Amino acid sequence: MSLLTVQNLSFSYGTREIFSGVSFAVEQGQIFCLVGPNGCGKTTLQHCILGHLRPQSGSVLIEGKPLTDHTPRDLAAQLAFVPQSHSRSFPYKTVDVVALGRTRRRKPLQPGGDEREQALAVMERLGIAHLAETEYTTLSGGELQMVLLARALAQESAMLVLDEPAAHLDVRRAQGILLLLAQIAKEQGRSILLSTHDFNHPLLFEDEGADVKMALMEGGRLGRAGRPLELLSSGCLKEVYGIESRVVTVKADKERHYLAAWAETDRGKENI
Amino acid sequence: MTGSSQTTGAKWIAAAGAAAAIFVLSLSIGRYPLTPAEVARALAQALLGRDFGMGAEAMAIVVDNRLPRALAGCLTGAALAAAGCAFQGLFQNPLVSQGVLGVSSGAGFGAALSILIFSGTRFAPTFAFVFALAAVWMSFLVARMCGEVTSLMLVLGGTIISSIFSALLSFLKYVADPNNELASIVFWNMGSLASVESTVFPFAAAAMLAGMGLLVLSGWSLNALSMGDREAKSMGLDVGKARLAVVAGATLSTAGAVSIAGTIGWVGLIIPHMARFLVGSDNRRLIPFSMLLGAAFLMGIDLLSRTLTGAEIPLGILTSLIGGPFFIYLLRRYKGGGWK
């Protein structure tokens, strides 16, 4: 049974349709990349999967059970969320923010708890333990992204749902977080559902030896899911976006794959 | 780590010490001055039932007059501060205070209504309490009318209900007899601990204690809720229930406080900020610490209000006049305290 199964899902804000007929499945230990331009509905799709928005039709099954049958606590054991943007309201200590990932293990109105130590252990693993006593309102965008990831990891859920995790990061930090995600999927067997607008992210996961699938999202439709290298080499970008592309292989520390894309057709030129 | 937890411990001791000192001073200072030792003897005499040599006059002043007032100040200050923390965390907004869901304007209207109906303030606490609860309930209804109850809809509902009750209060003031009813309404709304009735006090105290208990236990939920409804939900918090507990706790605390002390602004807004500078934003520590500070602050303000001049100065005036400059000092001292 797949960890997450999405069947024929549709969502509209009033009469404005965001996406429709979306189906895909994510297996345990798999990284599934939703790839598409900004505004294509990736974030809305993730919020439907997390139960934040109610889709008009279709179903979301987690371990074969409909999303709405899970209590918030059960759901948090399955899915942990790393939002793309987070509004910081109060100057909490960073370690206290990470500790919130332990919420699902607490009883309602429970006093005390040893969450701080567990949060610190996760921060050690991610190399951000030095930020523990810093007020999180003073962190940079990249540091905040790591803190939100640490909070999601502290949740110890079966799947991580990340919305554009590398969007606001410089090359070095983006690379760092992507490699970390590949490692988490491979070594801990956790599933990852990730949205991105960068075709090179799924390629990087595949080069790192993770079990990766990707699907292109455009105009409210999700395309066929497949292995990144195979899918991107098949010329599907021309069908979907009307751009020419080729996967190039670079001999670096190992063989790495990148997507070179250019506009050639009239449609492509118009879009650019 | 050790250093910081030591200074944190020192801050708790300092706050508790300040609250205790102000409590004793409140029992000593007044038109009939007593030394702290005499106050201690009077309290021991009342508690233990043995004779410690205090006369009937001193006993009456300490036990019947100053003690209830100090206790009322202590509880009211703590309750308003705790409710302020709760609403600021719940609405992720450092600028809201205990009145955000209409508690204060509901209470103000209720008190005014009872003053008009009964030509006196005898039933003002009961009416204030009932209308304070009613206002919050209506805010919830308004939020629910627009679909799922979110924090944003709740604050919008509170704003609407608050303004309706404010308008109704203005109307009551307009039709009130200006020679005595209007003065009562205006004075009640400025806040005072001068006429805390012993028949009402136990009920108000029970509401405040229950509310504060709920809030102290909701510290973790508030931390999660202040990340936003969606993030809190994805962490596994039952957002609806957790929010209900917080709103219930804050409403009971505030309604109990305004029913005996009238509407006292500023405490619920400013005390949580002062506490945040001193012990940080974690609501598990912030709420109890705010309660200590709030208790000390309001007892101190009440002491000043009855000793500065021959007549009593309403609390609402002093909380702002003294709290404002003190807050400016803290802002300077802590350079904004991590706020961006």
Q: Quick one: pLDDT band at residue B4, thresholds 50, 70, 90? A: low
Q: Which residues pair with A25 in a beta bridge?
A: A5
Band (A51; pLDDT cuts 50, 70, 90): very high
| B125-170 confidence digits (pLDDT tens) | 999 999 999 999 999 999 888 777 788 888 899 999 999 999 999 9
Phi, psi of A260 (to 5 degrees): -100, 130
Residue B108, pLDDT > 80, answer yes
Is the Cβ pair B234, A50 closer than 8 Å?
Answer: yes
Phi/psi for A10 (5° steps) reads -135, 145
Let me know whether A22 and A74 are in one domain. yes
- Mean pLDDT over A144-164 rounds to 95
Q: Residue B335's pLDDT is what?
A: 66
Whether the CB of A110 is below 8 Å from some CB of chain B: the reply is yes
Task: Say which residue the tokens 């500065």 belong to.
Answer: B308
Spatial neighbors of B85 by CB under 8 A, at least 6 apart, are B215, B222, B272, B275, B283, B286, B287, B290
Give mean pLDDT, residues B177-192.
88
At B182, the pLDDT band (50, 70, 90 cuts) reads very high
Q: A150 and A241 share a domain?
A: no
Residue A90 in 3-state DSSP? coil
What is the arithmetic mean of pLDDT over B35-41?
91
- A226 and A243 share one domain: no
A207-250 pLDDT, tens digit each: 999 999 999 998 899 999 999 999 999 888 888 888 888 999 99
A240 to chain B, any CB pair closer than 8 A? The answer is: no
Tell me: do A113 and A227 sit in the same domain.
Answer: yes
| Contact between B230 and A50 using a beta-carbon 8 Å cutoff | yes
CA torsion angle for B226, B228, B232, B238 (degrees, to 10)? 90
Q: CA of B329, closest CA in chain A: separation in Å?
A: 19
A12 Cβ contact list (under 8 Å, min separation 6): A18, A20, A56
In this structure, the answer to whether residues A31 and A65 fall within a common structural domain is yes
Query: Are A199 and A253 contained in the same domain?
Result: no
- Residue B296: pLDDT band with limits 50, 70, 90: very high
For residue B340, which residues of chain A lie inside 8 Å, CB to CB?
Answer: 88, 137-138
Q: CA B282, CA B288: separation in Å to the nearest integer?
A: 11
pLDDT at residue A272 tops 50: no
CB contact under 8 A, B218 and A109: yes
Q: Can you give the CATH number for the domain in which A39 is found?
A: 3.40.50.300
Tokens 């994805």, located at residue: B234
Instruction: List the domain range (segments joined by +) for residue A247.
Output: 236-272
| CB pairs A-B closer than 8 Å | 111
Assess whether A242 and A139 both reside in one domain.
no
The reply to whether A135 touches chain B by the CB within 8 Å rule is: yes
Show residues of chain A in contact with B232, CB under 8 Å: 103
Which phi-psi region, left, alpha or beta, contains residue B313 (left: φ > 0; alpha: ψ -120 to 50)? beta
Contact A100 B224 (CB under 8 A): yes
Distance CA B285, CA B219 (A): 8
Helix extents (H) in chain B = 2-28, 36-48, 56-59, 67-90, 103-118, 124-145, 151-175, 181-190, 201-217, 219-225, 229-234, 239-261, 267-279, 283-307, 315-333
Residue B2's pLDDT band (cuts 50, 70, 90): very low
Q: Which pLDDT value is given to residue B1?
A: 37
What secondary structure does DSSP assign to A221-272, as a single string? EE---B-HHHHHHTTHHHHHH--EEEEEEEESSSEEEEEEEE--SHHHHHH-
Do the chains contact at B230 and A52, CB–CB below 8 Å? Answer: yes
Same domain, A179 and A248: no
CB contact under 8 A, A90 and B242: no
Those residues with Cβ within 8 angstroms of residue A13's Cβ, 6 or more apart along the chain or in another chain: none
Contact yes or no for A98/A118 (Cβ under 8 A): no
Residues A162 and A36 in one domain: yes
Question: Closest Cα to residue A26, out of A215, A167, A153?
Answer: A215
3-state secondary structure of B207: helix
A30-35 sheet: strands from edge to edge = A79-82, A159-163, A191-196, A30-35, A211-218, A221-222
Domain shared by A49 and A82, yes or no: yes
* Residue with the larger pLDDT of the pair A193 and B152: A193
Tell me the pLDDT of chain B averaged across its residues: 89
A94 pLDDT higher than 50: yes
Same-domain check for residues A159 and A133: yes
Number of domains in chain A: 2
Same domain, A241 and A230: no
Q: What are the E-state strand segments in A27-155?
A: 30-35, 57-62, 65-66, 79-82
Which class for A85: exposed (0-12), middle (13-18), buried (19 or more C-beta within 10 A)? Answer: exposed
Question: pLDDT > 70: what percent of chain A?
Answer: 97
Nearest CA to CA, how far is A184 from chain B (Å)? 19
Q: Residue A193: beta bridge partners? A: A32, A161
> Contact B4/A133, CB-based, under 8 Å?
yes
CA distance A99 to chain B (A): 10
Q: Does domain B15-333 have CATH number 1.10.3470.10?
A: yes
Find out whether B96 and B87 touch, Cβ atoms under 8 Å.
yes
Residue of A nearest to B92 (CA): A89
Which of A103, A104, A144 to probe the B interface (max B CBs under 10 A)? A103
Q: Is the pLDDT of residue B338 over 60?
A: no
Edge-to-edge strand list for the sheet holding A16-26: A16-26, A4-13, A57-62, A65-66
pLDDT band at A39 (very low <50, low <70, confident <90, very high): confident
Counting beta carbons within 10 angstroms of the beta carbon of residue A24, is it exposed (0 to 12), middle (13 to 18) or buried (19 or more)?
buried
Q: Which of A66, A160, A102 is nearest to B236 (CA)?
A: A102
Q: Does residue B23 sit in helix, strand or coil? A: helix
